[in-house]
């Protein structure tokens, strides 16, 4: 045995990665890294970056290979045992439709965003971390597509997910969120996706889908969730490191970072509305209410985070109080939108049954009985009378978040909230002060928004009628859309159940 002392992990890694951030000689550094200065962020010393996850490519492959082996073993056994027949209820498949069309494509957008960022940051530590995250995000998309492809053999509405992501009205909400982040500079992308999305809001986005899967007997989704979450440690650590690093590097960075945190908190909050709706309305077996999740993961955990960030002078995101107040309303208001527009959505809707209504009353004692239960009961009554309510008009969309203008005024849940502003002679409309502020800060960016309703009216979406547009969406009308009750999904689920009962004797 040699008497040499074993190197600490950090030292070993330092030796391995030394020299990765060499100074270029036959091209100036500013030409090699052209995007890391226009945002106004000042970095005095890249070497102060603490590489949060000292991982080599060699061990990276080793890890990911084993994760894949395990995941595909579970998927295989799920398929062989007809796992799709043992989920809690056929309605649960709609959660997966929402996930695959609304979230999985954003994994791919995150992959592209981190690849770009990893190329354009000057510091070697940040570069390597962003590049590994880029590979992770690609893997997440692949595993999700593979997991859900099994459901696609039986349930409608998932087959055209990449095309739908680019075309369907409500999917422009997550799409435009990531388009915005990816078309920003590398530092804003890191705060938007690395910090706000992957750290601050991850427990409200990804985790509810995974715990929902666990509660509803979907072991294949639970497994890709575990597989992805084991990468999240690196992502979360990277999110924490980026914000600390920027705030410690230069005092001029604080107002820039604060602006981004305000922006991406509000944008994230708006995006999370679909998760709120999923938790409160779409899971046959409930995990917890959206309000409860918001209180635990944002009010408490986020509160502790911002208390700590306060030491740098960073404040709680602007309009965090409004977002917390909206947690009492947002899931109901979103479900109301999708119920009215069920003919144009690629998943099914339904009115909650009595047991579900009572659960909502219990979870939302301040708002549900007063504002939402009467509406649901009225719509259920109309359904019984053969007068199921559809909204035939196309909704006005918020210029920033692209969500239909259905949210209500802070403090007044009976009045729709409208905001507007003028820019170069045109009027732009917003769902909230938060979205309006974001527009007013970067109007040149947001006037270019691809708003689905505007595009339909401009004739860019297949035609002038709803059937034309649905055809352009590749929507299989009568199967992908409309109510769960009476759908082919329901018919199939009932057949499986009848068969099970028959076999049980």
Partner 1 sequence: MSYQLTVEPVGETIEVEEGQTILDACLRQGIYLPYACGHGLCGTCKVEVVDGEVDHADASSFALMDFERNEGKTLACSARLKSDATIEADIDEDPDQRRIPIQDFAVTVEKLDNLTHDVKGVRLRLEGKSIDFQAGQYVNVTLPGVDGTRAFSIANPPSENGVVDLQIRLLPGGKGTTYIHQVMKEGDKLNISGPYGRFFVRKSRGGPLLFLAGGTGVSSPRSMIIDLLAENYAEPITLIHGVRARADLYGNDEFEALSKKHPNFRYVPALSSEPEDSEWSGARGFVHDVAVQLYDGLFEGLTAYLCGPPVMIEACVNTLMRGRLFEKHILTERFLTANDEKKSTRSPLFKTL
Distance of CA 438 to the CA centre of its chain: 19
Cα distance between residue 141 and residue 320, in whole Å? 30
Q: Can residue 222 be called a binding residue for partner 1 (CB under 8 A)?
A: no
Cα distance between residue 389 and residue 357, in whole Å? 19
Q: Can residue 440 be called a binding residue for partner 1 (CB under 8 A)?
A: no
Interface with partner 1 in residues 355-394 (CB under 8 A): none
Q: Can residue 66 be called a binding residue for partner 1 (CB under 8 A)?
A: yes
Classify residue 450 as left (phi > 0), alpha (psi -120 to 50) or beta.
Answer: beta
Q: Can residue 1 be called a binding residue for partner 1 (CB under 8 A)?
A: no
* In the complex, minimum distance from the CB of residue 311 to partner 1, in angstroms, rounded to a whole number: 4
Q: Can residue 60 be called a binding residue for partner 1 (CB under 8 A)?
A: no
Among 2, 4, 9, 427, binds partner 1 (CB under 8 A): 9
Among 238, 240, 360, 469, binds partner 1 (CB under 8 A): 240
For residue 420, give the H/E element and its range: strand 419-423
Among 30, 32, 56, 70, binds partner 1 (CB under 8 A): 70
Cα distance between residue 131 and residue 116, in whole Å? 8
Interface with partner 1 in residues 248-267 (CB under 8 A): 248, 251
Among 1, 3, 8, 385, binds partner 1 (CB under 8 A): 8
Cα distance between residue 298 and residue 201, in whole Å? 8
Q: Can residue 301 be called a binding residue for partner 1 (CB under 8 A)?
A: yes
Question: Would you say 152 or 249 has its CB closer to partner 1?
Answer: 249
Dihedral sign from CA coordinates of 125, 128, 131, 132 = negative
Give me the residues paired with residue 483 across strands.
Answer: 349
First to last CA, the chain: 70
Per-residue binder mask for partner 1 (CB under 8 A), 116-135, x = binder: --------------------
The four Cα atoms 461, 462, 467, 472 give a dihedral, to 10 degrees, of -80
Cα distance between residue 84 and residue 150, in whole Å? 8
Per-residue binder mask for partner 1 (CB under 8 A), 475-504, x = binder: ------------------------------
Among 20, 304, 382, 485, binds partner 1 (CB under 8 A): 304
Where along the sequence are the contacts to partner 1 (CB under 8 A)? 8-10, 54, 62-63, 66-67, 70, 226-227, 229-230, 232-233, 236-237, 240, 244, 248, 251, 300-301, 303-305, 307-313
């Amino acid at each position: 045995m040699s008497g040499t002392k074993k190197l600490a992990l950090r030292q070993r890694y330092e030796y391995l990665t030394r020299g990765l951030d060499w100074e270029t000689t036959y091209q100036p550094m500013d030409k090699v890294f052209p995007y890391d200065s226009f945002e106004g962020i000042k970095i005095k010393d890249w070497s102060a970056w603490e590489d949060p996850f000292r991982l080599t490519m060699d061990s990276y492959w080793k890890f990911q290979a084993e994760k894949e082996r395990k995941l595909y073993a579970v998927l295989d056994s799920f398929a062989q045992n007809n796992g799709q027949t043992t989920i809690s209820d056929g309605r649960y498949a709609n959660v997966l439709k929402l996930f695959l069309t609304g979230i999985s494509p954003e994994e791919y957008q995150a992959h592209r965003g981190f690849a770009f960022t990893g190329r354009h940051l000057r510091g070697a530590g940040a570069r390597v971390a962003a590049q590994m995250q880029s590979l992770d995000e690609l893997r997440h998309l692949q595993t999700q597509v593979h997991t859900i492809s099994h459901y696609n053999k039986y349930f409608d509405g998932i087959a055209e997910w990449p095309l739908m992501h680019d075309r369907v009205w409500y999917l422009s909400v997550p799409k435009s969120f990531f388009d915005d982040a990816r078309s920003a500079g590398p530092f804003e992308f890191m705060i938007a996706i690395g910090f706000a999305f992957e750290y601050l809001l991850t427990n409200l986005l990804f985790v509810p889908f995974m715990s929902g899967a666990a509660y509803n007997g979907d072991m294949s989704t639970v497994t890709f969730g575990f597989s992805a979450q084991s990468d999240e440690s690196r992502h979360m650590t990277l999110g924490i490191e980026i914000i600390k690093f920027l705030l410690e590097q230069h005092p001029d960075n604080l107002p820039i970072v604060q602006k981004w945190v305000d922006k991406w908190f509000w944008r994230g909050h708006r995006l999370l509305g679909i998760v709120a709706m999923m938790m409160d309305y779409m899971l046959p077996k409930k995990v917890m209410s959206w309000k409860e999740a918001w209180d635990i993961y944002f009010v408490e955990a986020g509160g502790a985070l911002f208390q700590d960030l306060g030491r740098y002078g960073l404040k709680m995101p602007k309009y965090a109080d409004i977002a917390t107040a909206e947690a009492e309303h947002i899931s109901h208001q979103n479900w109301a939108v999708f119920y009215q527009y069920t003919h144009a959505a690629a998943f099914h809707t339904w009115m909650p049954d009595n047991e579900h209504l009572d659960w909502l009353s219990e979870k939302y004692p301040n708002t549900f009985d007063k504002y939402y239960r009467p509406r649901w009961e009225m719509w259920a009554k109309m359904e019984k009378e053969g007068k199921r309510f559809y909204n035939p008009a196309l909704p006005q969309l918020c210029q920033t978040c692209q969500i239909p203008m259905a949210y209500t005024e802070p403090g007044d849940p009976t009045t729709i909230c409208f905001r507007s502003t003028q820019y170069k002679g045109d009027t732009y409309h917003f769902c909230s002060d938060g979205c309006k502020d974001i527009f007013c800060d970067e109007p040149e960016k947001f006037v270019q928004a691809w708003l689905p309703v505007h595009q339909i009216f401009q004739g860019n979406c297949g035609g002038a009628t709803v059937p034309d547009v649905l055809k352009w969406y590749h929507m299989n009308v009568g199967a992908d859309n409309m109510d769960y009750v009476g759908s082919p999904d329901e018919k199939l689920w009932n057949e499986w159940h009848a068969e099970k009962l028959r076999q049980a004797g």
